[in-house]
Amino acid sequence: MNIMDHGFLLICFLVILFLVIKYYTPKIKGYIGENKASKALKRLNNEKYTVLNNIELKIKGSTSQIDHIIVSNYGIFVIETKNYKGWILGYENDKSWVQAIYKYRRKFYNPILQNQGHIYALKHVLKNYQYLRYYSIITFTKRATLKTKTYTDVVYINKLVKTIKKYDYDYISEHTKQEIVTKILAAKTNHRNKDKALQANSNMNKNISCPNCGGHLMERNGQYGVFWGCTNFPRCKYTRNKK
């Protein structure tokens, strides 16, 4: 193999390496940001908040990948996580925001508008629950310096839990909350991604199987006290008194 062949192979390798870095770096950064947010959300009281991470919904031919959904007694929180560095500049209704690092400037789609699309998809899934309140929150890691002016909550991850807790009007029953969680999980298209946060937060007893459909039974609160209900509700309406 001559010098020209070595040079050609080296150029090919560098081109492939550049394409791999260009394609995967944003995904890696996004994953890191989502992971930091997931850790922060673990501080929430799991009796009041059920955290669902990385939920993908397909509505009318369009796919909506939602970083975090929190189903709570106080409403539905939809969280978009960004792991950008530099100054972040933007207003509520701008189509694009700007990432500025010294003289470098890059436009990216307004995450508030992005999250509105996520909420639209979620409302479609939960269309039978017309009274629900949806709270949009955009969260950035501390790599960014926020220079935004918005009505929607745009906060650093270390302020995320505090921002969620400021919405404290309790109006969703435990039974309805579990119904909503079940509907979201049934609608998501990335079923292979098990939601570990849900498993940790729910009072699910995997040692008790539903005699009707074979699903698991979950501890729920009803009008007459605590009971076991099937996680496949509303498709399966089996219940059992808790002894």
Residue 119 and residue 44 share a domain: yes
Shared-domain flag, residues 58 and 172:
yes
Q: Which pLDDT band, with edges at 50, 70 and 90, does 6 fall under? A: low
- Which parts of the chain are beta strand (E)? 49-59, 62-72, 75-82, 86-91, 96-101, 104-109, 134-140, 144-149, 153-156, 204-209, 216-222, 225-230, 239-241
Query: Are residues 230 and 130 both part of a single domain?
Result: no
Pair 211, 179 in one domain: no
Q: Which domain holds residue 212?
A: 206-242
For residues 221 and 175, membership in a common domain is answered with no
Indicate the number of domains in the chain. Answer: 2
pLDDT band at 14 (very low <50, low <70, confident <90, very high): low
Instruction: Classify 190 as helix, strand or coil.
Output: coil
Residue owning tokens 């909350």: 177
Q: pLDDT digits over 163-195, tens only?
A: 999 999 999 998 899 999 999 999 988 765 444
- Whether 192 is in a domain gets the answer no
| Residue 149 lies inside a defined structural domain of this protein | yes
pTM: 0.69
